Chain A
Amino acid sequence: MARSFKGRSVVPGNCTAEALVSHGGFNTLASFQMAMMFGDKKVKCGDQNNPDLYKKPMKGKALCLPQTIGSTTGGMVLYTACATDNQPACLLFSMTIDSLAASGAILAANWTDAKMPVVDQLGDEFLSYVEDGMQITVAEDGTVTVE
């Protein structure tokens, strides 16, 4: 059964993708750096401290997370992922987006052609409900449908 969650659209857009869920803070640098360094086409998560995502492919997934954490290179890393077409399909935050992820998403929206909708404030219940592999549909107004 489909269930919808209403969030705030930070970078508006539409997409449909498979969910990939991090229940802990998403460390952008630690997650992307090895994949980008190796040219990993699936962009597998390299963050050993994130048991939910470690070694799982991130490219093209609907990345569901509370917030990002870690190095202030985070936004730059996210921007580069978008500029090289290695980004997740969308970023879906249960909490209010953090400043690093916001920077990366905004830089990507302004300076690249990548399409990566970003929705935040989806609530704790969203993150409790969504599981890896579920189908996610994101609407322009920040409505996220999970099925």
Chain B
Amino acid sequence: MAMQLTSEQQAMLDGAQGEVMAKVMRSLVMYGETFGAEKMVPVTSKYGHTVISFGIGVMKPVYDLYDQLIAAGALPKQQFSADPLPLDKNVPSNLLQDIIFKGIMYSQQKRYEEQLKKFGIMDGDAYTCACYLDEVGNRPQKGEVLSWAESSAVVYANSVLGARCNRNSGMIELMGSIAGCVPYFGLLTDDGRRADWVVEVRTEKRPEAQLLGSAVGMKVMEQVPYIKGLDRWLGTELNDENCAYLKDFGAATASNGAVGLYHIENLTPEAKEQGEGLIREGAKVYVIDDAELERVKAGYPCVWKDLGAKPKLCFIGCPHLTKGQLKDWTDKIEAALKKNGLEKVTVPTVMTAPPAIAREYANSWDGARLEKTGVILSYICPLMYMNNPLSGKMPVITCSNKLRTYTTARYYTEDEILGMITGGVR
């Protein structure tokens, strides 16, 4: 069925604002028609978010297209945040890596950051995948329509904040912000937000967020899960600790599968309001106990050439850590080092957080405690750091299931990582 456009939208499609704007609108219309959208709806959030924060040389066609947009005056109607920057001099790298990072791999970085300024990046602190944290300021309200990309941010905005956003791809999300409208389908609709799966959590201890998310994502893929039994471990309030847990859980569902929305019984907003009324008739059931989580974890492949290699680097914070998580890690690392009679971490460790949080924390008393342990605090995107031949060959460990999925980094639970970096476990 052809989409019904407003006269303004139709004029844009017909070229009233130039051929480039017509192509922007044509891309959005085709995108919507593919999914049966009958209309466009206005983007109502104050800010957008783009997944593209990196100027990778091989992606040059993307920046060439963006030059076309800028030249034609096809600019977003809202300011936006972007994913984390790929480079930070504080993160350990050798001379060869520096040459590859700056000279070859991110050869388009300067060009792209200039483009982002013209498009309307919020400010220099707006580079984070966790843009919805208070310190960043891009926190949409319940019911607002977004044109975002970044799988972990989209699933958080939908699930924890109750905003409405499809799992848009990079580039198309910017086009939605430029046109000021997005096609109405999928997670924007009430029906698209109903659950196709019931996930019953029957573990005997609080499940690791990124492991549980991985199991759920790999099972339900792009469908919507309604999760029962997790409130036993998290309670029923969306406090800072639970929001951080859901941030990590969601990132794993979105990267290990393609989840754009989940409901947690008695906890997330729509599950609290509508309860089991959200569940579709005939929804499939997936039971997760401790053995299932072990099975999932044991199934992760590891492509290290030497499976017994000593880790050379550890990344914690994909997606970016909250202030509370930084404090929690600081306490745990300090205590574990003290217990083991050590002062510094035994594996070079980088923790990543939004720029504003990292800066504020570094200047705090707790930040000084973290620095004493030898941990490096950065705003970098660990994924971007790992995406090159040199880093890819390094034995890097992480408690991020997202980082594991896209790179050669090896996954361990948070407790395992703590043991490994504080000399407790090899």
B-binding residues in A (CB < 8 A): 10, 25, 27, 29-30, 33-34, 36-39, 48-49, 67-76, 79-80, 83-84, 96-100, 102-104, 106-107, 109-112
Q: How far is the CA of A53 from the CA of B23 in the complex (A)?
A: 34
- Distance (Å) between the CB of A25 and the closest chain B CB? 6
B303 close to A (CB within 8 Å): yes
Complex interface: chain B residues within 8 A of A10 (CB): 34
Contact present for A37 and B170 (CB under 8 Å): no
Q: How far is the CA of A112 from the CA of B389 in the complex (A)?
A: 29
Q: A102-B31, A106-B31, A110-B23 are in contact. Are A30 and B405 (CB under 8 A)?
A: yes
Complex interface: chain A residues within 8 A of B303 (CB): 48
Q: Knowing that A25-B258, A49-B405, A80-B58 are A-B contacts, what are 9 other residue pairs whose CB atoms are under 8 Å apart, sorted by A's residue number?
A: A34-B389, A70-B254, A76-B51, A76-B52, A79-B62, A98-B258, A110-B23, A110-B30, A111-B65
Q: A49-B301, A67-B222, A75-B172 are in contact. Are A106 and B405 (CB under 8 A)?
A: no
Complex interface: chain B residues within 8 A of A102 (CB): 31, 34-35
Contact present for B34 and A106 (CB under 8 Å): yes
- Distance (Å) between the CB of A36 and the closest chain B CB? 5
* A–B complex contacts, Cβ < 8 Å, 10 sampled: A37-B105, A37-B389, A70-B258, A75-B172, A99-B166, A99-B167, A102-B34, A102-B35, A107-B27, A110-B27
Contact present for B170 and A73 (CB under 8 Å): yes
Q: Which of B149-157, B234-242, B341-349, B413-421 contacts A (4 or more CB under 8 A)?
A: B149-157
Contact present for A100 and B169 (CB under 8 Å): yes
Contact present for A76 and B59 (CB under 8 Å): yes
Q: Which residue of B lies closest to A84 (CB)?
A: B61
Q: Which 5 A-B pairs have the closest CB atoms?
A: A75-B169, A83-B61, A103-B169, A76-B170, A72-B149
Contact present for A103 and B172 (CB under 8 Å): yes
Complex interface: chain A residues within 8 A of B405 (CB): 27, 30, 49, 70
> How many B residues, CB 8 Å from partner?
46
- Distance (Å) between the CB of A115 and the closest chain B CB? 16
A-binding residues in B (CB < 8 A): 23, 26-27, 30-31, 34-35, 51-52, 56, 58-59, 61-62, 65, 105, 149-151, 154, 166-173, 186, 221-222, 254-258, 300-301, 303, 387-389, 392, 405-406, 408
Complex interface: chain B residues within 8 A of A98 (CB): 167, 222, 258
Which DSSP category, helix, strand, loop or mixed, fits chain A's interface? helix
Complex interface: chain A residues within 8 A of B172 (CB): 75, 103, 106-107
Q: Which residue of A lies closest to B186 (CB)?
A: A99
| Partner pick for B168 among A48, A69, A72, A110, CB 8 A cutoff | A72
Contact present for A80 and B167 (CB under 8 Å): no
Q: Which residue of B lies closest to A120 (CB)?
A: B34
Q: Which of A34, A38, A75, A97 has the most CB of B within 10 A?
A: A75
Q: Which residue of B lies closest to A39 (CB)?
A: B58
- Distance (Å) between the CB of A145 and the closest chain B CB? 23
Contact present for B388 and A37 (CB under 8 Å): yes
Q: How far is the CA of A70 from the CA of B218 in the complex (A)?
A: 10
Q: A25-B257, A69-B258, A72-B150 are in contact. Are A36 and B61 (CB under 8 A)?
A: no
Contact present for A100 and B406 (CB under 8 Å): no
Complex interface: chain A residues within 8 A of B406 (CB): 27, 29-30, 33, 70-71
Complex interface: chain A residues within 8 A of B27 (CB): 106-107, 110-111
Complex interface: chain B residues within 8 A of A96 (CB): 35
Complex interface: chain A residues within 8 A of B170 (CB): 72-76
- Distance (Å) between the CB of A134 and the closest chain B CB? 25
Q: How far is the CA of A110 from the CA of B167 in the complex (A)?
A: 20
- Distance (Å) between the CB of A28 and the closest chain B CB? 9
Complex interface: chain B residues within 8 A of A80 (CB): 58-59, 61-62
Q: Which of B26, B59, B303 has the most CB of A within 10 A?
A: B59
Contact present for B30 and A106 (CB under 8 Å): yes
Complex interface: chain A residues within 8 A of B56 (CB): 37
Q: A37-B58, A70-B406, A97-B34 are in contact. Are A103 and B258 (CB under 8 A)?
A: no
Complex interface: chain B residues within 8 A of A100 (CB): 167-169, 258
Complex interface: chain A residues within 8 A of B392 (CB): 34
Q: A72-B51, A73-B51 are in contact. Are A109 and B30 (CB under 8 A)?
A: yes
Q: Which residue of B lies closest to A104 (CB)?
A: B169
Q: How far is the CA of A36 from the CA of B54 in the complex (A)?
A: 15
